[in-house]
Chain A
Amino acid sequence: MSSKQDTKRNSLSRRQFMADSARAACGVTLAGLGLSLYGESAKVHATQALRPPGALPERDFLGACVRCGLCVRDCPWDTLKLGRMLDPVATGTPYFDARDIPCEMCEDIPCVKVCPSGALDPALEEIDDSRMGLAVLIDNETCLNMQGLRCDVCYRVCPLINEAITLEMQRNERTGAHARFVPTVHSDHCTGCGKCEHACVLEEAAIKVVPHSLAKGELGSHYRWGWEEKDRAGGSLIPEALDLPDRMPLDGGKL
């Protein structure tokens, strides 16, 4: 075989290789682009889909969870489900629907213990420290307590009764003679377990657990609550108001 033929075959196959590679690169890039877009839409915004205790923030969670379902298996209450395709969560990742089965707040947190990837953060040791979401009394117009009745179910079932949910007594303006006991959620204690939403007696719950991103506002970082600053400093931060001389005439009113 002449070396000329050899060279020709080489250059042909090199050209072929380049063309194949370019085609493959294009195809794979397109596929990757499609996947990225799908991935963005797969992030949980839905209120029905709450992550298990200790779940990392959503984006980190989607980079850590391997979708093995071991958390589902070790949950003694069958609370957790794995997302199927077209569910409101990324395929294969664990979530629960509080209205359906809420988190029972096991003290030993078996789902976190069994998670092999750390997507459920092993640093979570006290279940009361978990923040799966935040309960919000989302509909004042149907909540029985808000109408002046004594339902109190959400308050009674709360594992952190009187901490995560308190009843705030207010005057019942409608009757003028009674009180309303307004269920009030405190974000520094609410774990987002969803028992309140699960237990709400209405057809559609008036109290719902929603992701923190939906439930919480955020102060500008420069804001201070004056009364808290005052407590912390043990007194007002500015000098007391000047006591200007009273202008009441000293001589009893004669100008």
Chain B
Amino acid sequence: MNAPIGMAAIEKKGWWASHRFLLLRRLAQASLIGLFLLGPLAGVWVLKGNLSASLLLDTIPFSDPLVWLQTLFAGHTLEWSLGLGALVVTGMYLLVGGRVFCSWACPVNPVTDSANWLRTKLGLNRSGKLSRSLRFWMLGMTLILPLLTGMLLWELINPVSLLMRGIVYGMGVGWLLIAAIFAFDLLMIRRGWCGHLCPLGAFYTLLGRVSPLRVNASKRNECNNCMDCFAVCPEPQVIKPALKGQSTGASTVILAPECTNCGRCIDVCGESVFEFSTRFANKAETQS
């Protein structure tokens, strides 16, 4: 029926411009893993630790704010180093949108992205249904379990921390869990893990409610309804209000906090409808 997704963009903008953010994202993900591995492999300690907590150049602490919250809920007293690291990370993602973590830093993202890529290649269109709000229930669970048991139970199986820790420290049968997520996304539910279940993604979604960096459908009048952006977007429901909101005068900015700022919609749009901007850059024509 149609040309392959993104073909129009490649023809109009060239290959680089229509893969820019995808490649930059892969570069960011690989660099993060590389920086963690540089120490154990080459003895150069830029980043030490893993995504749960780390030290940059042996001085600046980073830590996963959700893990930190779990320790507090488990009744562990506040430890300044961990708390400070969590504040640093939270501050960072408050600015650029929490789910920038999901698309630019999380090691599970390439796994689920490739599952989705293969799903498209194989024409596996059937997808099970799962509520996208399930992840908030999961988030609740990760915090209530420590409250009830005093242990960080989610961290026993959390694939996000497990994968980075596994890459840096050795993984063992943990690979099975990652393979399971790949299979789940490939065979059962499109974008099943990141889009429906991951509590860390849900947590970062909350930060996205106020973050200034947003994708803006600033030239939405030039949209030719090719649907390529919907096809590549991991959270396609966030696009519609901004892209198709002319009649209601809705903002051109994608304000939904589920948006991961991956920039893939900017890449694949042949008409260059989207751009990165701030949440205040609403270009909706005011109807007078």
A68 touches B49 (CB 8 A): yes
Tell me the complex Cα distance, A79–B152, Å: 24
Q: B131: which of A24, A59, A69, A116 is its contact (CB, 8 Å)?
A: A24
Main secondary structure of the interface of B (DSSP, over half): helix
Supposing A66-B67, A118-B77 touch, asked if A25 and B157 sit within 8 A by C-beta, the answer is: no
Instruction: Give the docked Cα–Cα distance between A35 and B150 (Å).
Output: 13
Spot the interface stretch: B169-177, B229-237, B252-260.
B169-177
Which of A2-10, A86-94, A135-143, A237-245 contacts its partner? Answer: A86-94
Please tell me if A149 contacts chain B, counting CB pairs below 8 Å.
no
Asked if A84 CB lies within 8 Å of chain B CBs, one says yes
- The docked-state distance in angstroms from the alpha carbon of A117 to that of B80 is 8
Please give, as numbers and ranges, the residues of chain A lying within 8 Å of B20 by CB-CB distance.
none
Question: Is the C-beta of B116 less than 8 angstroms from some C-beta in chain A?
Answer: no
* A72→B40 CA distance, assembly (Å): 11
**Which of A28, A82, A91 makes the CB contact (< 8 A) with B137?**
A28
Residues in B whose Cβ lies below 8 Å from that of A185:
none
A117 contacts B82, C-beta separation under 8 Å: yes
The chain A residue with its CB closest to the CB of B131 is A20
Q: Contacting A39 at CB < 8 Å: which of B52, B153, B165?
A: B153
Report the bound CA distance from A119 to B155 in whole Å.
Answer: 15
Provide the bound-state CA to CA distance between A23 and B133, in Å: 11
Within 8 A of B (CB), among A70-87: 70, 72-73, 82, 84-87
Interface residues of B in 109-146 (CB under 8 A from A): 131, 133-134, 137-138, 140-141, 144-146
Say whether B174 contacts A63, CB under 8 Å. no
Q: Per a CB cutoff under 8 Å, which of A23, A27, A86 touches B172?
A: A86
Contact B144–A32 (Cβ < 8 Å): yes
Q: Which of B140, B144, B146, B165 contacts A92 (CB 8 A)?
A: B165
Given A66-B71, A116-B79; A82-B165 close (CB under 8 Å): yes
Q: Mark B18-57, 1 if CB is under 8 A from A, else 0.
A: 0000000000000000000001100000001110111100
Are B152 and A84 touching (Cβ within 8 A)? no
B150, closest chain A residue (CB):
A63
**A132 on the B face (CB < 8 A):** no
- Nearest CB of B to A26, in Å: 10
A84 to B169: give the CA distance in the assembly, Å.
9
| Chain B interface residue number, banded | 35 or more
| Known A82-B169, A92-B162, A116-B81: A67·B144 in contact at CB below 8 Å | no
A69 and B76 contact, Cβ closer than 8 Å, known pairs A92-B155, A116-B53: no
Chain A, range 40-78, C-beta contacts under 8 Å to B: 42, 59-60, 62-70, 72-73
A69 CB to nearest chain B CB (Å): 5
Interface size counted on chain A using CB atoms at 8 A = 40
Please measure, in the bound complex, the distance between the C-alpha atom of A217 and the C-alpha atom of B177, giving whole angstroms.
41
Docked complex Cα distance between A73 and B41 (Å):
12
Q: In this assembly, does A162 line the interface, its C-beta being within 8 Å of a C-beta of chain B?
A: no
Q: Measured between C-beta atoms, what is the minimum distance from A237 to chain B in Å?
A: 42
| Residue ID in chain B nearest A38 by CB atoms | B156
- A67 CB contact (under 8 Å) in B150, B153, B155: B155
- CB–CB A84/B170 < 8 A: yes
Given the complex, which residues of B lie within 8 Å of A91, measured CB to CB? Answer: 155-157, 162, 174
A38 to B154, CA, bound (A): 10
**Residues of the B chain whose Cβ atoms lie less than 8 Å from the Cβ of A64:** 71, 74, 76, 79
Q: A25-B137, A35-B154, A90-B156 are in contact. Are A69 and B169 (CB under 8 A)?
A: yes
Chain B residues engaging chain A, CB cutoff 8 angstroms: 39-40, 48-50, 52-55, 61, 63-64, 67-68, 71, 74-77, 79, 81-82, 85, 131, 133-134, 137-138, 140-141, 144-146, 148-157, 161-162, 165-166, 168-174, 176-177
18 intermolecular pairs with C-beta atoms under 8 Å apart:
A20-B133, A25-B137, A31-B141, A36-B153, A38-B153, A39-B145, A42-B156, A64-B74, A65-B152, A66-B71, A67-B52, A73-B40, A82-B169, A90-B156, A92-B52, A116-B63, A116-B79, A117-B53
The 5 closest A-B CB pairs, nearest first, are: A63-B74, A84-B172, A68-B53, A118-B79, A62-B151
Q: Can you add 16 more A-B contacts, CB < 8 Å, to A25-B137, A67-B155, A67-B165?
A: A24-B137, A35-B153, A35-B157, A59-B151, A63-B74, A63-B146, A64-B79, A66-B52, A66-B71, A66-B155, A68-B50, A68-B54, A70-B55, A85-B174, A91-B156, A92-B156
